Amino acid sequence: MSIHQISNTLRFGTPLKEARGAVILVHGRGASAEDIAGLADVLPQEGIAFFAPDATQGTWYPQRFFMPLAMNEPWLSSGLALLHELVQEITAAGVPLDRIGLAGFSQGGCLALEYLVRHPAQLSFVVGMSSALVGPEGTERPAVDLKSVPVLVACSERDPHIPLEFVKSSVQTLKGMGADVTSHIFPGGDHTVFQEEVDWVSGRMKAWV
């Protein structure tokens, strides 16, 4: 049985079969689907189906994101599989990949970025807010072509949970895979969602006309 259950996903907004686009919102460690669902309040909502999966015990994987991958298994693989199930559910309902956005905060953002490199697809966008790719420096990545998928990687320069060097390394890795990467490094040490991130996501959602 999977550690994380798709049945615990919060579904809201426009019914999927009537939606012109869909956004998957992934919460951070110690938070919940209800917490990250609040982000939808500041995003375009007309015609949008939202999905907020809920991690078991409030965590997608048990250790810090930069620990060896094996130390976060099988939780990590279960979380990635859940995201893939949601993408498949959305496309099965008729919403194309290029109208699906995936956005996560903190641990959820790490999971979202990791999902992209392991399941490369022409999603509308992928966002890692206060996030980086999972694994230590030098982690072997699959040889994939991300074909200019728009990706946002953003973080404060002194984030207490996300060391800046991992953010910068993730940006370079994703660019090397062919993603169209936007990166914001914000002054200070706030571990939060920034307005610039909201604006970036909103701009891509507004293109779903």
Q: Give this prediction's pTM.
A: 0.97
Angstrom distance (rounded) from CA 142 to CA 147 = 14
Q: What is the pLDDT of residues 73-118, one digit of tens each?
A: 999 999 999 999 999 999 999 999 999 999 999 999 999 999 999 9
What is the residue extent of each domain of the chain? 6-205
Q: What is the pLDDT of residues 140-150, one digit of tens each?
A: 998 999 999 99
Determine the pLDDT at residue 2.
86
What DSSP state is assigned to residue 13?
Answer: E
Determine the pLDDT at residue 55.
98
Determine the pLDDT at residue 209.
78
Q: Does the pLDDT value for residue 1 go beyond 90?
A: no
CATH number among 3.60.21.10, 3.40.50.1820, 3.90.1260.10, 3.40.640.10, domain 6-205 = 3.40.50.1820
Q: What is the pLDDT of residues 38-65, one digit of tens each?
A: 999 999 999 999 999 999 999 999 999 9
Q: In Å, what is the CA distance from 202 to each residue of 18, 20, 47, 192?
A: 20, 14, 13, 17
